[in-house]
């Protein structure tokens, strides 16, 4: 967090001069890849890699093991996204250089979590006593799970989950919260309960997550945040979203100072600069 | 009344008793007894006061390290080991669930990297009754009824 702050104050530090960073995106991800590549460019590093496995030797049947072995001979660091869960951890065992997980299936997306936390600390001044509202797809959304786990490290968080029954927060997380004596509340509708929020963390409700399309049609417009709903929310409340947004935040929210999602994405660059510099012991 | 042993006695070696009948061949596989060059005898569906029916395995001239035999805890958590020297039981052991399970079972998550590449699976055991374990790679929790053995 301190390093990210340092990079935000001074974004062009050529700490990676002479270094080669591999960005291996076995599945496409525009935002995360651009964010990492911007971070590398700002640090003065060179980038090799691919943005889609169809343009790599994976399409010829090469194993992840062999790809990582090869690339770790070329680059000083590997940043990878892969559709299979646990792939980044496995790559870190195989690789001779540090590996950053830029998303492994539905498992983890740690750099997103760190940038979410950086955004919370920047807007709230602390990570303690945060009343966090999570909205949308809480069942499959890895960003909400990772953020929840991260916030457990801090004092007295309160969680409010707003989701349709089909996409409710999985029991394993609720059991964990109960076992730690952490308060959480579940709601199926967006109401003025959001007035108590310090942070509203919005996510997409994706049609493909529903077995029954009728169920999707029923809820698709229930979880849309509109500007008028923000009238009585706290002054320093901020709205976060991992992006991309579809329709779950109405565009009339964008001009509200409480809308923070685009700045949050910008914070991602500083956070990723900090992760890279930290792992290569450059700072 | 004359007492008969249903599985013949061994002079030296290990007797694994109180194996659930359904787990017998899994135990044989886990301990790699198919490759054992020593005499291996086993009985299945034997009467048991505690279990109703049970299985037993006797392996001549083989003695197992604790971590080796504890692997069978996944399928035979109540198994008991008798260490035999010169036809006498010199030591009794119970199987203990290890804290970490390597190999033996697949991760039940089809999207786990261990099901796509040639990787030895590794799990942290979270609880032993019933057994639940967390994959070291994908972090998903596999429970007892989801276990798929190699």
Q: What is the pLDDT of residue B130?
A: 82
Looking at the structure of chain A, the number of domains it has is 2
Residue B50: CB atoms within 10 A of its CB come to 7
Determine the distance in angstroms separating the CA of B130 from the nearest CA of chain A, rounded to an integer. 16
CB pairs under 8 A between A and B: 49
Are A206 and A86 found together in one domain?
Answer: no
Q: What is the pLDDT of residue B5?
A: 67
Which CATH number is A96's domain given? Answer: 3.40.50.1370
Residue with tokens 């509200």: A256
Structural domain ending residue among the three candidates A82, A105, A128: A105
Q: What is the pLDDT of residue A123?
A: 97
Are A251 and A135 found together in one domain?
Answer: yes
- Mean pLDDT, consecutive 10-residue stretches, chain A (283 aa), reads 95 94 92 96 96 75 94 97 95 98 90 97 97 93 91 96 90 90 92 93 84 81 90 97 92 97 97 97 88
Q: What is the pLDDT of residue A80?
A: 96
Q: Per residue in A223-279, pLDDT tens?
A: 899 999 999 999 999 999 999 898 899 999 999 999 999 999 999 999 999 999 999
Nearest to A90 among B109, B119, B139 (CB): B119
Give the chain B residue nearest A89 (alpha carbons).
B137
Are B113 and A90 in contact (CB < 8 Å)?
yes
Are B135 and A84 in contact (CB < 8 Å)?
no
Q: What is the pLDDT of residue A232?
A: 95
Considering the domain boundaries, does residue A270 fall inside one? no
Are A203 and A114 found together in one domain?
Answer: yes
Considering the domain boundaries, does residue A271 fall inside one? no
Are A174 and A58 found together in one domain?
Answer: no
Q: Are strands B52-60 and B13-19 parallel, antiparallel or unpaired?
A: antiparallel
Q: What is the pLDDT of residue B4?
A: 65
B84-to-B16, B48, B63 alpha-carbon distances in Å: 11, 21, 9
Q: Which of A63, A172, A105, A110 is nearest to B111 (CA)?
A: A105
CA atoms of A50 and A71, how far apart (whole Å): 11
Whether B149 has a pLDDT exceeding 90, the answer reads no
**What is the pTM for the complete model shown?**
0.85
Nearest to A86 among B113, B118, B141 (CB): B113
B60-to-B28, B57, B95 alpha-carbon distances in Å: 14, 10, 19
| DSSP H/E element including B25 | helix B24-30
* Total length of chain A: 283
Whether B106 has a pLDDT exceeding 70, the answer reads yes
Q: What is the pLDDT of residue A20?
A: 98
Structural domain ending residue among the three candidates A73, A105, A137: A105
Whether B2 has a pLDDT exceeding 60, the answer reads no
Answer whether A260's CB lies under 8 Å from A266's CB: no
Considering the domain boundaries, does residue A152 fall inside one? yes
Helices A261-279 and A2-9, interaxial angle, to 10°? Answer: 110
Are A129 and A253 found together in one domain?
Answer: yes
Residues on chain B touching A172 (C-beta within 8 angstroms) = 141
Whether B147 has a pLDDT exceeding 90, the answer reads no
Considering the domain boundaries, does residue A258 fall inside one? yes
Are A63 and A159 found together in one domain?
Answer: no
Answer whether A16's CB lies under 8 Å from A40's CB: yes
ipTM of the complex: 0.85
Structural domain ending residue among the three candidates A53, A84, A105: A105
**What is the extent of the structural domain holding A27?**
2-105
Are A217 and A94 found together in one domain?
Answer: no
Whether B6 has a pLDDT exceeding 70, the answer reads no
Are A80 and A126 found together in one domain?
Answer: no
Give the chain B residue nearest A104 (alpha carbons).
B138
A208 Cβ under 8 Å from any chain B Cβ: no
Gyration radius of chain B over CA positions: 17
Considering the domain boundaries, does residue A276 fall inside one? no
Are A122 and A247 found together in one domain?
Answer: yes
Nearest to A84 among B112, B118, B141 (CB): B112
Are A139 and A224 found together in one domain?
Answer: yes
Task: Give me the mean pLDDT over the B2-16 stretch.
Answer: 79
Are A147 and A90 found together in one domain?
Answer: no
Nearest to B111 among A63, A105, A108 (CB): A105
Considering the domain boundaries, does residue A235 fall inside one? yes
Q: What is the pLDDT of residue B9?
A: 82
Domains and CATH numbers, chain B: 13-94 (3.30.70.140), 100-149 (2.30.30.20)
Are A118 and A236 found together in one domain?
Answer: yes
Considering the domain boundaries, does residue A9 fall inside one? yes
Considering the domain boundaries, does residue A207 fall inside one? yes
């Amino acid at each position: 967090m301190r390093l990210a702050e340092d990079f935000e104050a001074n974004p062009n530090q050529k700490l990676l001069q002479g270094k080669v960073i591999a960005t291996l995106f076995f599945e496409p991800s525009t935002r995360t890849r651009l964010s990492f590549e911007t971070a590398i460019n700002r640090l003065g590093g060179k980038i090799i890699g691919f943005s889609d496995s169809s343009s790599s030797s994976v399409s010829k049947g090469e194993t992840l093991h062999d790809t990582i072995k090869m690339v770790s001979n070329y680059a000083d660091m590997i940043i990878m996204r892969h559709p299979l869960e646990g792939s980044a951890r496995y790559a870190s065992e195989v690789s001779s250089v540090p590996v950053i997980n830029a998303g492994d299936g539905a498992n983890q997306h740690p750099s997103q979590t760190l940038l979410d936390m950086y955004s919370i600390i920047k807007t709230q001044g602390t990570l303690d006593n945060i009343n966090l509202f999570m909205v949308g797809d809480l069942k499959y959304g890895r960003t909400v799970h990772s953020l929840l786990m991260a916030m457990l490290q801090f004092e007295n968080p309160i969680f409010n989950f707003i989701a349709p029954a089909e996409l409710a927060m999985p029991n394993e997380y609720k059991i964990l919260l109960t076992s730690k004596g952490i308060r959480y509340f579940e709601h199926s509708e967006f109401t003025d309960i959001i007035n108590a929020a310090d942070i509203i963390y919005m996510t997409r409700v994706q049609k493909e997550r529903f077995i029954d399309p009728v169920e999707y049609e029923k809820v698709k417009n229930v979880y849309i945040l509109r500007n008028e709903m923000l009238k009585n929310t706290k002054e320093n409340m901020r709205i976060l979203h991992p992006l991309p947004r579809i329709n779950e935040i109405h565009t009339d929210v964008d001009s509200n100072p409480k809308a923070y999602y685009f700045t949050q994405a910008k914070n991602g660059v500083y956070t990723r600069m900090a992760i890279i510099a930290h792992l290569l012991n450059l700072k | 009344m004359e007492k008969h042993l249903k599985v013949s006695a061994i002079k030296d070696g290990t007797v694994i008793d109180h194996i659930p009948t359904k787990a017998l061949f899994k135990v044989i596989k886990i301990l790699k007894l198919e490759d054992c060059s020593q005499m291996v005898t086993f009985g299945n569906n034997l009467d048991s006061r505690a279990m109703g029916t049970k299985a037993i395995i006797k392996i001549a001239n083989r003695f197992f390290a604790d971590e080796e035999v504890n692997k069978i805890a996944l399928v035979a958590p109540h198994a008991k080991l008798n260490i035999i020297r010169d036809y006498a039981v010199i030591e009794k052991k119970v199987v203990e669930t290890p804290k970490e399970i390597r190999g033996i079972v697949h991760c039940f998550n089809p999207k786990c990297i261990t099901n796509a590449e040639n990787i030895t699976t590794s799990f942290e055991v979270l609880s032993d009754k019933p057994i639940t374990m967390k994959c070291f790679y994908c972090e998903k929790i596999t429970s007892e009824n989801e276990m798929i053995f190699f």
